[in-house]
Structure 1
Amino acid sequence: MSLELKASSQRVQDFLSQHGQQFVVKQMPASTRTAAEAAEAVGCAIGQIAKSLIFKDKQTGDPVLIVASGANMVCTKKVEQATGIKLGKADADFVREKVGYAIGGVPPVAHHAKVTTILDPSLQCYEAIWAAAGTPNSLFELHSKDLELLTQGTWVELAK
C-alpha cells in the first residue's frame, strides 16, 4: 500500500477526519474498481463491499447515490416504490460533474454537493464494511451505522 494518497482519496480522508471519524483511507496496489476486486484486495466477503452507484433522478436531473452491498444488484423499481424517485442511468461525465469522482472510485461521502442517498439494508448484516475512497484502488473500512450517519442516507430494500 502506498502511503501518499491521491488528491481524490485525500479529499475523502479529510472529510472523514473533519466529521470526527478515525477511518483510514488505504490505497491498494491493485484495482478495487469492482466489488469482487475490492473484496479480494482486502480479504473480505463480496457482501461487505459498499458499492456507491450514481443514478440520475429523471424528474429533477439531480444525482442519487445508492450504496449497495457488493453481493446485490439494485432493483430500481423497488427504490422508486419506496421513495417515489424515478431513477435513470448516469453516464461517466454526469458522475464526475455532479459528485466529483470517476466511476469505479465513487465514495459514499465527500461529494461536490449533497446528494440524495439510499442505503442497502444488507450492509447492516456485517460487522465491518468497505467503501471506495475516491480512486479505483482506494478504500476505507467502516460500520453500517457510521455509513448512515456520514451520508444521512435512508435504508431501503433494493436488492433484485
Structure 2
Amino acid sequence: MQENCDILLSELNDQIRNAIKSGTHTTDYPQAVQFVLLADLFNYHVVQGGFAQLIYNLQGAYLAEIEAMLLAADATTAHLYYVQSIEKCLEEDAHYQQFLESPYTDEHTLKNELHVISIAYFKTGKSFIAEICPFISSSAAAVNGWLANDIN
C-alpha cells in the first residue's frame, strides 16, 4: 500500500509539473494541487537528507505552506518533527541565516541539530508516505480535475 502511495504521489507530481511546463496550465492552482507538490517536495528532501536538507533547500520559502499541507494530510508525526525543526531554526535568527548562506557541505551546528531531529523522526518508524496515503489518494481527484481544465 505504501509503495502504491509513493508511486501515486510521484505520478501526480509529474503530471502537474508537465502540465505547467507545457503551458496548458498556470501555477494558479487549487490548494489540493499545491499540497501534492509540497508533499512530494517534503518527501524527497526529508528522505534524501532529513530536515536540514529540506530547510536549507527551501531557503525560507513555503515553510507555512508545508505546515498547512502536513496538517491537512493529517501527518501528525511528520508535523511534530517539522515544527521542532522550524523552532530550532527560530531560536537564533542569525544562526539560521548563517546556515542558509553557507554552502550546505560546510560544517554547521544548526545543520547537525536538524540531523538529530531527523534521526529521531526516522526512529519513530512512521514514514511520511504511510501517514499521508489517504490524503494522496483523495487528492488524486482534485489533481485530475485541475488537469482536465486546461487554459487553452
The question of a shared fold, defined as TM-score above 0.5 by the shorter chain, is answered with no
Richer in strand (by share): 1
- Structure of greater Rg: 2
Q: Which has the higher contact order (CA 8 A, sep 6+)?
A: 2
TM-score, length-normalised on structure 1? Answer: 0.27
